[in-house]
Amino acid sequence: MDDIIKSIYGHLSGFALSGKAEKFIKKTGEIIFPFLLCLTMMSAGLYIYTENVIDIYNVIAAAVCAGVFALCSCLRKIKFGGLIYTGLIFAGSFIPGIMLPGWESKFGFVRWFFSGAKAEDTRVSFALVFILVFGFFFCSVVYYFTQIVYRSAAVVLISMIPMALAVKAVVSMPVYYPIILASLDLIIFIFYSRKKIVGKSLSGNSMSSLIVYTDFAVAAIILALIVPKPSETPFYDKFEGFMNLFQFGGSGETVMSGEYNRYSGNADDLLMQESRLLYVIASPQPTYMKTQVFDNYDASNNRWEADVSGLSGNRYWQDTAQSMNFEYLDNALQKAAELDEDFYEQYPFAEKLNGISDPETYSIIYSRQYPAAYVIAPLRTFGVNLSTTGASYSARSGSGEIFTDLVQLPGTADYTVRYYSEDTVYHELISNGYCDISAEEYENMLRRAEELLYPENDLSEEYNVVHTFLNECISAEAYRERTVTDIPESIQALSDELTSGLEYDYQKASAIEQYFYNNGFLYSLAYEAPENSDTAEYFLFESKTGTCSDFASAYTLLARAAGLTVRYVEGFVPQAGDEPGDRTFYIYSENAHAYPEVFIPGAGWVRYEPTIADFSGGSGRDNADIGTDMLTAVFTAVIAVICIGIFILLIILKPKIEETAFRAAVRFKRNDTAVKLLYRRHAQTAGIKYGAPYRAMTADEISVLTEENTGISLEPLADSFTEVCYGRKPVTGEQRRSAYDCYKAQYKEMTHKTKKGKDR
């Protein structure tokens, strides 16, 4: 190992360098390399938030690093430097409060910090707080562990912090940052290891230090380049599924059940409760499962209201729902065009349906001790098989809620729902321009087709399809007129701004959806608005933080302000299991969700997703941002800081702890044994500190080495040791005490003074 270290050092320091350059590196490397390490860490940290390698913030960071290194160098020479440093830390703790006045500013900084500037735009104050806090922390810690007490593991651990921040903020850090950090760590390690090499002897800690460095460096690179931010706890689903197999009654366990509610907020209530498996679903792919629709907005309480007192629906809904297939509609419109050669010329968008495919799919739903008044089902459901539930029939309301003749389905009920995929709407209708029409044009086309297909005798299949689509269109228009909402002026103004210049409804709906993704909104279950501020306006313009209910409610108001036909919906979003490609999905209480549905001319009712948390559910909609529970983020940060602090504290105190334990052990040894232990420990400490091969040195040589460097005679300890080992004379209690006092004086002097002279 000695030869390897020497060889690497020789290549690094001697390759293509002049004698002066090599001498300069040896002279300045002790401070230059740690300083470059701090600069790289600060640059990597700032890149997470600015995506710039060089800018004004990096210049400021470089100046701060230089200042901190100069400060630490000055404090090192002052008698009470440690006390002054502690005072600076205490004073520095007030910097964030001074530079971030007000709760909103502080909260905004937290959102900015943990989201990598995705949930909050970078402000000058945010960047300066980051530079001052992390610059002081990085530089002072690296300075201590390189200039005062060298610890390779601590240096590498600190250099991993920017990569850990990148993982937390879900930011892809350029590969050259971890490479540069790892290289600087290696150079610092070799530089300080080289200083300890004397002849062919390497200190006993070098092998362990190299192993520690390798472990940390490999872990750092893997962490930064490979490991993604987890969206859920590993194996949590399987653990929850296993625990839910054991359902015991009579033990005070909370019983969950699904009810139709008068007011919205049930999704939030489920999210706040303990995690409980509600359903297991077998399906080719997951999709949003609707439970209830809320129609009217209660502005005074910021919630939505539904009339559940007289919930009613059509028991024969499956016959008409099955006709709501765009492939069937295409066939019907083609037949209408055969009866009227001007049909496609009059309604050119209808021709864009030609050749469309609208496949059906299914989900088998298994209840897990969750009795419910409703049948959970996707938006485009056309069939439900309840044969094993004990229900006689199912009915569907005008808003799409499905229920049965039972007050509640059994907690162990299983049923199958069949539906048309939402992918057809997103990937074929809207993307191919079929929805580039107004509501009036869409209704006129359907009326003309119905008129052309109206039979003289029996109703044809094509007529029934067109008639069903037309009825949906008429019902949606009636729903919009029935749910007229008083919109606050600020929300109306924002809606007008977002939809200005847009012609079609799907364009307006998408523009409102994207507003939540591009303006610093954050999903959080922990956030609570200030008293009397829990309003849609406060959410949209002040906090920008809330639950799925806040996002869905705000979206619905903005959409209604834009003249869109929209409804507020609550339901569930199934989540995948642990096995890739597995067609089993799970619904836990934390999968409850609220979202809007918009009636788009040409496509019918379409689901939109304004909540920035990952509720995509594999339905074909992509959500770019992932929200963070702020309470969890802050708690994680506090725990991480505490753990790092404890680790650093243990490293700092390790020599003192070991020394205290050694002295305590010596007190219980016999006089002869105590003197031997004291001498051997002193010789080892002096040999390592002064770069001497202490194992091969005599007691006289150790005495000379010690006295030259500390100015204190080693005679009381060395003479007693010589008498014990070579004179075979017993050591008296007085000699033992003198040897112990000599050891303490030597240790104190070696601990507080550096080696005289300079390394050559």
Of the two residues 654 and 515, the one the predictor is more confident about is 515
**Res 224: pLDDT:** 43
**Residue 482 pLDDT > 60, yes or no?**
yes
**Res 722: pLDDT:** 85
Of the two residues 622 and 196, the one the predictor is more confident about is 196
**Res 651: pLDDT:** 65
Residue range 607-650, pLDDT digits in tens:
999 998 755 443 334 333 334 444 555 555 566 666 666 766 66
**Res 533: pLDDT:** 85
Of the two residues 212 and 488, the one the predictor is more confident about is 488
Write a three-state SS string for 382-414: EEEECCCCCCCCEEECCCCCEEECCCCECCCCE
pLDDT band at 444 (very low <50, low <70, confident <90, very high): very high
pLDDT band at 418 (very low <50, low <70, confident <90, very high): very high
Of the two residues 229 and 274, the one the predictor is more confident about is 274
**Res 229: pLDDT:** 40
Residues in the chain: 760
Q: Residue 605 and residue 602: Cα distance in Å, rounded?
A: 9
pTM for the full predicted model:
0.56
**Res 574: pLDDT:** 93
By percentage, how much of the chain surpasses pLDDT 70?
Answer: 79
User: Are residues 134 and 42 in contact, defined by beta-carbon separation less than 8 angstroms?
Assistant: yes
Sketch the domain layout of the chain as residue ranges.
2-229, 243-625, 669-752
**H-type helices in 175-255, by residue range?**
176-195, 205-225, 236-243
Q: Residue 287 and residue 615: Cα distance in Å, rounded?
A: 10
**Res 154: pLDDT:** 79
Closest CA to 442 of 576, 569, 302, 329: 329
Q: Residue 63 and residue 422: Cα distance in Å, rounded?
A: 55
Of the two residues 347 and 632, the one the predictor is more confident about is 347
Q: Residue 594 and residue 621: Cα distance in Å, rounded?
A: 16
Q: For 141, what's the count of Cα atoms within 13 Å in the CB-facing half-sphere?
A: 24
> For residue 239, what are its two tokens?
């653990």
Closest CA to 154 of 213, 101, 112, 110: 213
User: Are residues 349 and 436 in contact, defined by beta-carbon separation less than 8 angstroms?
Assistant: yes
Q: Residue 225 and residue 172: Cα distance in Å, rounded?
A: 8
**Res 178: pLDDT:** 87
**Res 757: pLDDT:** 41
CA 305 to chain centre: 34
**Res 514: pLDDT:** 95
User: Are residues 450 and 460 in contact, defined by beta-carbon separation less than 8 angstroms?
Assistant: no
Residue 400 burial (10 A CB sphere; 0-12, 13-18, 19+): buried
**Res 643: pLDDT:** 67
Q: Reduced to 3 states, what is the DSSP secondary structure of residue 542?
A: helix
Q: Residue 553 and residue 535: Cα distance in Å, rounded?
A: 10
CA 304 to chain centre: 31
**Res 654: pLDDT:** 72
Q: Residue 648 and residue 138: Cα distance in Å, rounded?
A: 12
Cβ partners under 8 Å of residue 469, min gap 6: 323, 324, 329, 446, 604
- Residues 476-493: what's their mean pLDDT? 93
Cα separations in angstroms, 124 against 112, 521, 729:
12, 20, 74
**Res 641: pLDDT:** 64
> For residue 465, what are its two tokens?
């399809």
pLDDT band at 715 (very low <50, low <70, confident <90, very high): confident
Residue 370 burial (10 A CB sphere; 0-12, 13-18, 19+): buried
Closest CA to 507 of 613, 423, 433, 445: 433
**Res 509: pLDDT:** 96
- Residues 734-759: what's their mean pLDDT? 74
Q: Which residue reads 């492939």 in tokens?
A: 327
User: Are residues 537 and 553 in contact, defined by beta-carbon separation less than 8 angstroms?
Assistant: no
Q: Residue 257 and residue 262: Cα distance in Å, rounded?
A: 15
**Res 237: pLDDT:** 40
> For residue 543, what are its two tokens?
């906090």
**Residue 745 pLDDT > 50, yes or no?**
yes
Q: Which of 141-145, 387-391, 463-467, 563-567 has the lowest mean pLDDT?
A: 141-145
Give, in degrees to the nearest 5, the angle at Cα 199 between 194 and 201.
70
What is the average pLDDT score of the chain? Answer: 80
**Res 644: pLDDT:** 65
> For residue 661, what are its two tokens?
């334990």
**Secondary structure letter of residue 363 according to DSSP:** E
Write a three-state SS string for 596-623: EEEEECCCEEEECCCCCCCCCCCCCCCC
Rg (CA), the chain: 37
Residue range 549-601, pLDDT digits in tens:
999 999 999 999 999 999 999 999 998 876 666 789 999 998 999 999 999 99
**Res 12: pLDDT:** 46
Residue range 141-165, pLDDT digits in tens:
888 888 877 777 778 888 888 888 8
pLDDT band at 193 (very low <50, low <70, confident <90, very high): low
The β-bridge relationship of strands 522-523 and 545-546 is parallel
Cβ partners under 8 Å of residue 520, min gap 6: 111, 119, 120, 121, 544
User: Are residues 680 and 692 in contact, defined by beta-carbon separation less than 8 angstroms?
Assistant: no
Residue range 201-251, pLDDT digits in tens:
333 344 444 434 444 444 444 444 434 443 333 333 433 444 344 333 333
Q: Which of 90-104, 468-482, 640-654 has the lowest mean pLDDT?
A: 640-654
**Residue 363 pLDDT > 60, yes or no?**
yes
**Res 27: pLDDT:** 60
**Residue 198 pLDDT > 80, yes or no?**
no
**Res 197: pLDDT:** 39
- Residues 478-502: what's their mean pLDDT? 94
By percentage, how much of the chain surpasses pLDDT 90?
Answer: 37
The β-bridge relationship of strands 289-294 and 374-375 is unpaired
